[in-house]
Structure formats: C-alpha cells, structure tokens
C-alpha cells in the first residue's frame, strides 16, 4: 500500500510523468513562440538542459535573506504542485476516487505555489524581490476570486457535487459542462485565471524580466531556482488538467492540445498589463461575467 503510493507520487502519475510531460509542453510553447516570431527556436531537449544545468550550478544564499524560509519556499512550491498534480492524475487515470469535496481542497493546494513565491520574494532581502512578491500577492487577490466563481459553475451544473470524480461521472452520464452557455463562460474565465496563476505574459507582472529582473526569483540560483523552474514546468500540465476534468469531463490529448494552443496564443498576442489594469480586468470586467455565468447555471442554461 505504502509502496504503491510512493510509486504514484514519484513515477506515475506523479513526479516523473508530470515533469516529462511538462518539459515536452514547455518546449512546444517555446518553439511555437519562436515560430510565431519567425525564429528557429530551441532544440527539443532545451527545457531539460536548462533544468539539468541549474542543478549543477552553485547555490548561493544572500547575506540579507531569512535563510530558513528562503530555502524552504522553493521546496514547498514544488511539493504543493506535485501533490495537486498527482491527485489530478490519479483521478484522470481512474486510480483513485478522491473524496467528496476535493475540488475545494485542490484549489487550496494550488494556491501553495503562489504563496510560496510571495514568501520567497519577501525573505530574499532584495528590494526588487520584495516588489515582485508584493505584485504576486496583488495578482493573487485579483484572480483567486474569479477562479472560485468560475469553478462554482460546474458545481451548480452538476447539482451541488463537490468531488472532481463525481463531477466527471456526472459529465459522462449527461453532457460536459462546457457544452452550455454558463459552462463556456466558466471555462473561459478559468482559462484566464490559470494563465495568471502560471504567470504567463499578460500577467507576468510578478516576474517582469525587463523591469524588475525576475522579481521574486532574482536572488535564487542553482538548485533552489531549479525547484521553482520545475514547479513552473509542472504547472503547465497540472492546471489545464484541473480545467479539463472539471469542465470537459476528463482530459485527452486533443482537448489538452487545444487548451495549450489557447494559452500560447494568449501569451503571444498580449503585452504585459500593469497591476492596476489586472485588478480592474479581474474585478470589474471578469467578475460580473462570472456572476452572470452563475445565474445562467442556476437557470439551467
């Protein structure tokens, strides 16, 4: 039993599987971005080479950092993402039934990586990192509310079911939540929210290479930076998986590729927003749309 769970976590559908899939996806993302800019793009194993290199580099601890938190946070971000990923993978491959109410638990677990970035930046002792962590916190404030509202829609559509497994079962008996007005609205909102959660380009205010030089990650190097990069790579698989299971009755390669394509196009066609614009976008434009979606769902549309 214990060995089985260790296998689930470390090999399939946990660490190795998600990491391998994430590296492939992250290459596809970089290659497609390059092709969209009429460039050649990196070789197939480039994301793997990047990670491999970070693990042989020296890991430096800044003098001003609060060391225990500074070291703990990358590991916490990674383990949060791994836990959510393994959980969703177990549900996807029918290896476990989860428990009633695991939608709520999963969304909470998925905030751990973002919170870890906030604490990591704050503990670095670097002004730009502090700025990055403050921005990440504001970004979380902006998207979390809309994310919850959009996830309410499948819960309402399935008649109050709160387990991912039972929502999938409901969708295979009836039709997927996505094939309705409210489901479509919820899916689009959740897509924008996971885009913000991954910190991709229109919402990369916390990282902002060109203005605050990698933000919260600025002082991280070597192994600890590698942990953060690994978390980002895994998020590319884990977050769309949650979306597909809750809105589209489980994932397959075609659905996943479609969601990924939307994410890459959104990333490549938008400039970075300012923090005020992000707040306004989520609270004043997307939130009313989400509430409209809830009303439609309550009326069975």
Helices 181-198 & 287-298 angle (0-180, nearest 10): 150
Using a 10 angstrom Cβ sphere, with 0-12 exposed, 13-18 middle and 19 or more buried, the burial of residue 240 is buried
Stretch that binds another protein, among 54-62, 75-83, 95-103, 140-148 (CB under 8 A): 54-62
Binding string, residues 92-131; x marks residues near another protein by CB under 8 A: ----------------------------------------
Give 271's DSSP letter. Answer: P
Give which of 171, 264, 230 is closest to 52, Cα–Cα.
230
**Which residue, 54 or 88, has its beta carbon nearer to another protein?**
54
User: What is the smallest separation between the CB atom of 19 and another protein, expressed in angstroms?
Assistant: 17
User: What is the smallest separation between the CB atom of 129 and another protein, expressed in angstroms?
Assistant: 9
Cα 61 to Cα 59: distance, rounded to the nearest angstrom: 7
Secondary structure element (H or E) that encloses residue 143, with its range: helix 127-157
Does residue number 39 form part of the binding site for another protein (CB under 8 A)?
yes
Does residue number 91 form part of the binding site for another protein (CB under 8 A)?
no
Contact (CB, 8 A) for 203 and 195: yes
Does residue number 220 form part of the binding site for another protein (CB under 8 A)?
yes
**Which residue, 46 or 79, has its beta carbon nearer to another protein?**
46
Does residue number 71 form part of the binding site for another protein (CB under 8 A)?
no
Does residue number 63 form part of the binding site for another protein (CB under 8 A)?
no
Using a 10 angstrom Cβ sphere, with 0-12 exposed, 13-18 middle and 19 or more buried, the burial of residue 196 is buried
Give 1's DSSP letter. Answer: -
Q: How many residues bind another protein (CB under 8 A)?
A: 30
Stretch that binds another protein, among 19-27, 48-56, 157-165, 282-290 (CB under 8 A): 48-56
Binding string, residues 187-216; x marks residues near another protein by CB under 8 A: ----------------------xx--xx--
Is residue 72 left, alpha or beta, with left meaning phi > 0 and alpha meaning psi from -120 to 50?
Answer: alpha
Does residue number 217 form part of the binding site for another protein (CB under 8 A)?
yes
Cα distances from 292 to residues 47, 50, 118, 144, in angstroms, run: 41, 44, 32, 17
Contact (CB, 8 A) for 158 and 151: no
Does residue number 67 form part of the binding site for another protein (CB under 8 A)?
no
Give the residue, chosen from 7, 16, 53, 100, that forms a contact with another protein under the rule CB under 8 A: 53
Give 14's DSSP letter. Answer: S
Does residue number 228 form part of the binding site for another protein (CB under 8 A)?
no
Give the residue, chosen from 10, 16, 34, 298, that forms a contact with another protein under the rule CB under 8 A: 34
Q: Which residues bind another protein (CB under 8 A)?
A: 30, 34, 37-43, 46, 49-50, 52-53, 56-60, 209-210, 213-214, 217-222, 225
């Amino acid at each position: 039993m214990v060995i089985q769970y260790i296998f689930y976590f470390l090999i399939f559908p946990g660490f190795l599987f998600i990491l391998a899939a994430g590296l492939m996806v992250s290459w596809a993302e970089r290659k497609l971005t390059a092709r969209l800019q009429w460039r050649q793009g990196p070789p197939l194993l480039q994301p793997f080479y990047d990670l491999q290199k970070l693990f042989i580099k020296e890991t430096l601890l800044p003098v001003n950092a609060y060391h225990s938190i500074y070291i703990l946070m990358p590991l916490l971000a990674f383990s949060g993402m791994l836990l959510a990923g393994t959980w969703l993978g177990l549900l996807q491959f029918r290896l476990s039934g989860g428990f009633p109410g695991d939608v709520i638990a999963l969304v909470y677990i998925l905030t751990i990586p973002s919170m870890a970035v906030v604490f990591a930046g704050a503990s670095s002792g670097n002004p730009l990192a502090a700025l990055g962590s403050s921005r990440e916190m504001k970004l979380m404030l902006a998207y979390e509310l809309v994310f919850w509202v959009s996830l309410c829609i499948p819960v309402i559509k399935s008649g109050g079911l709160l387990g991912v497994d039972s929502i999938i079962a409901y969708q295979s008996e009836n039709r997927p939540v996505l094939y309705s007005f409210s489901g479509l609205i919820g899916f689009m909102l959740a897509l924008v929210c996971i885009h913000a959660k991954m910190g991709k380009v229109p919402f990369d205010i916390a990282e902002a290479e060109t203005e605050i030089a990698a933000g919260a990650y600025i002082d991280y190097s070597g192994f600890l930076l590698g942990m953060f990069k690994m978390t980002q790579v895994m998020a590319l698989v884990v977050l769309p998986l949650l979306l597909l299971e809750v809105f589209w009755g489980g994932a397959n390669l075609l659905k996943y590729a479609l969601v990924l394509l939307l994410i890459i196009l959104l990333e490549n066609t938008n400039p970075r927003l300012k923090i005020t614009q992000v707040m306004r976008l989520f609270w004043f434009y997307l939130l009313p749309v989400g509430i409209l979606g809830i009303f439609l769902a309550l009326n069975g549309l």
